[in-house]
Amino acid sequence: MRQLVGYLRFDTTAELELLNWIWAPDGVFTNYLPAQQKLLQKRRDGAKVTNRYDRAQTPYARALAHDGVSEASRSTMETTFAPIRMASISDQIQSLTAELEHTALARALAPIRRVNKAFNRRIHPEILGEAMNQASRRS
Protein backbone atom coordinates (compact mmCIF):
# COMPACT_ATOMS: atom_id res chain seq x y z
CA MET A 1 0.00 0.00 0.00
CA ARG A 2 2.89 2.37 0.73
CA GLN A 3 4.05 2.03 -2.88
CA LEU A 4 0.63 3.22 -3.95
CA VAL A 5 -0.02 6.12 -1.56
CA GLY A 6 3.48 7.06 -0.43
CA TYR A 7 5.06 7.48 2.96
CA LEU A 8 3.31 10.58 4.26
CA ARG A 9 1.49 10.53 7.58
CA PHE A 10 -2.27 10.11 7.18
CA ASP A 11 -4.05 10.69 10.47
CA THR A 12 -7.17 12.73 9.80
CA THR A 13 -10.65 11.42 9.06
CA ALA A 14 -10.60 13.01 5.59
CA GLU A 15 -7.40 11.13 4.75
CA LEU A 16 -8.84 7.89 6.11
CA GLU A 17 -11.89 8.35 3.93
CA LEU A 18 -9.70 8.88 0.87
CA LEU A 19 -7.66 5.77 1.75
CA ASN A 20 -10.88 3.76 1.93
CA TRP A 21 -11.89 5.13 -1.48
CA ILE A 22 -8.49 4.10 -2.88
CA TRP A 23 -8.59 0.54 -1.48
CA ALA A 24 -11.76 -0.42 -3.36
CA PRO A 25 -10.51 0.16 -6.95
CA ASP A 26 -7.02 -1.00 -6.00
CA GLY A 27 -8.45 -4.33 -4.80
CA VAL A 28 -10.29 -4.77 -8.09
CA PHE A 29 -7.17 -3.80 -10.03
CA THR A 30 -4.91 -6.14 -8.05
CA ASN A 31 -7.25 -9.15 -8.17
CA TYR A 32 -8.33 -8.92 -11.80
CA LEU A 33 -5.79 -7.16 -14.02
CA PRO A 34 -2.02 -7.64 -13.51
CA ALA A 35 -0.63 -10.91 -14.83
CA GLN A 36 1.76 -12.81 -12.59
CA GLN A 37 4.10 -15.73 -13.04
CA LYS A 38 4.20 -18.48 -10.44
CA LEU A 39 7.31 -20.47 -9.59
CA LEU A 40 6.89 -24.11 -10.64
CA GLN A 41 10.30 -25.55 -9.92
CA LYS A 42 13.57 -24.44 -8.36
CA ARG A 43 16.59 -26.64 -9.07
CA ARG A 44 20.11 -26.25 -7.77
CA ASP A 45 23.18 -27.61 -9.59
CA GLY A 46 26.11 -26.66 -7.38
CA ALA A 47 26.12 -22.87 -7.20
CA LYS A 48 23.73 -22.43 -10.13
CA VAL A 49 20.01 -22.14 -9.37
CA THR A 50 17.54 -22.69 -12.19
CA ASN A 51 13.94 -21.52 -11.79
CA ARG A 52 11.02 -22.60 -13.97
CA TYR A 53 7.87 -20.49 -14.09
CA ASP A 54 4.47 -21.08 -15.59
CA ARG A 55 3.00 -18.67 -18.14
CA ALA A 56 1.79 -15.36 -16.77
CA GLN A 57 -1.89 -15.26 -15.78
CA THR A 58 -4.09 -12.88 -13.87
CA PRO A 59 -5.40 -13.98 -10.46
CA TYR A 60 -8.88 -13.91 -12.04
CA ALA A 61 -7.84 -16.40 -14.75
CA ARG A 62 -6.17 -18.65 -12.18
CA ALA A 63 -9.31 -18.65 -10.04
CA LEU A 64 -11.52 -19.55 -13.01
CA ALA A 65 -9.15 -22.38 -14.00
CA HIS A 66 -9.11 -23.84 -10.46
CA ASP A 67 -11.36 -26.87 -9.91
CA GLY A 68 -12.32 -25.95 -6.34
CA VAL A 69 -14.16 -22.74 -7.27
CA SER A 70 -17.94 -23.05 -7.15
CA GLU A 71 -20.23 -21.98 -10.00
CA ALA A 72 -21.73 -19.22 -7.86
CA SER A 73 -18.26 -17.77 -7.23
CA ARG A 74 -17.41 -18.05 -10.93
CA SER A 75 -20.54 -16.15 -11.96
CA THR A 76 -19.87 -13.48 -9.31
CA MET A 77 -16.32 -13.03 -10.57
CA GLU A 78 -17.49 -12.88 -14.20
CA THR A 79 -20.11 -10.21 -13.46
CA THR A 80 -17.51 -8.22 -11.50
CA PHE A 81 -14.92 -8.55 -14.28
CA ALA A 82 -17.19 -7.61 -17.20
CA PRO A 83 -17.38 -3.81 -16.60
CA ILE A 84 -13.74 -3.41 -15.55
CA ARG A 85 -11.67 -1.08 -17.72
CA MET A 86 -8.00 -0.90 -16.84
CA ALA A 87 -7.48 2.70 -17.95
CA SER A 88 -10.45 4.05 -16.01
CA ILE A 89 -9.47 2.22 -12.81
CA SER A 90 -5.87 3.38 -13.15
CA ASP A 91 -6.99 6.98 -13.69
CA GLN A 92 -9.33 6.77 -10.71
CA ILE A 93 -6.58 5.43 -8.44
CA GLN A 94 -4.12 8.09 -9.62
CA SER A 95 -6.58 10.95 -9.06
CA LEU A 96 -7.48 9.67 -5.58
CA THR A 97 -3.84 9.25 -4.57
CA ALA A 98 -3.04 12.75 -5.86
CA GLU A 99 -5.94 14.14 -3.81
CA LEU A 100 -4.74 12.22 -0.75
CA GLU A 101 -1.21 13.58 -1.14
CA HIS A 102 -2.53 17.12 -1.62
CA THR A 103 -4.67 16.77 1.51
CA ALA A 104 -1.77 15.46 3.58
CA LEU A 105 0.60 18.18 2.41
CA ALA A 106 -1.97 20.96 2.83
CA ARG A 107 -2.22 20.45 6.58
CA ALA A 108 -0.52 23.14 8.63
CA LEU A 109 3.01 22.19 9.50
CA ALA A 110 4.19 22.33 13.08
CA PRO A 111 5.50 25.77 14.01
CA ILE A 112 9.26 26.17 13.96
CA ARG A 113 10.67 26.76 17.42
CA ARG A 114 13.39 29.30 17.79
CA VAL A 115 16.69 28.02 19.10
CA ASN A 116 18.41 30.01 21.84
CA LYS A 117 21.77 30.36 20.12
CA ALA A 118 23.30 32.36 22.97
CA PHE A 119 22.58 29.50 25.39
CA ASN A 120 24.09 26.96 23.00
CA ARG A 121 27.34 28.95 22.59
CA ARG A 122 28.13 29.06 26.33
CA ILE A 123 29.66 26.14 28.16
CA HIS A 124 27.43 24.92 30.97
CA PRO A 125 29.50 22.92 33.47
CA GLU A 126 26.46 22.01 35.56
CA ILE A 127 24.87 20.30 32.55
CA LEU A 128 28.12 18.67 31.44
CA GLY A 129 28.81 17.37 34.94
CA GLU A 130 25.35 15.93 35.16
CA ALA A 131 25.58 14.28 31.79
CA MET A 132 29.16 13.06 31.95
CA ASN A 133 29.93 11.76 35.44
CA GLN A 134 26.54 12.00 37.11
CA ALA A 135 28.18 13.44 40.27
CA SER A 136 25.08 15.49 41.08
CA ARG A 137 22.96 12.35 41.41
CA ARG A 138 25.25 10.76 43.99
CA SER A 139 24.96 13.52 46.54
- What does the pLDDT look like over 101-125, one tens digit per residue? 888 888 766 667 777 777 666 666 5
- What does the pLDDT look like over 47-76, one tens digit per residue? 999 999 999 999 999 999 999 999 999 999
- Nearest 5°: the CA angle 36, 79, 73 is 75
Residue spans of the domains in the chain: they are 2-111
Q: What is the pLDDT of residue 119?
A: 64
Secondary structure of residue 91 in the 3-state scheme: helix
Q: What percentage of the chain has pLDDT greater than the value 70?
A: 79
Q: How many other C-beta atoms lie within 10 A of the C-beta of residue 104?
A: 18
Which of 94, 76, 96 has the alpha carbon at shortest distance from 31?
A: 76
Secondary structure of residue 57 in the 3-state scheme: strand
Full-model pTM: 0.60
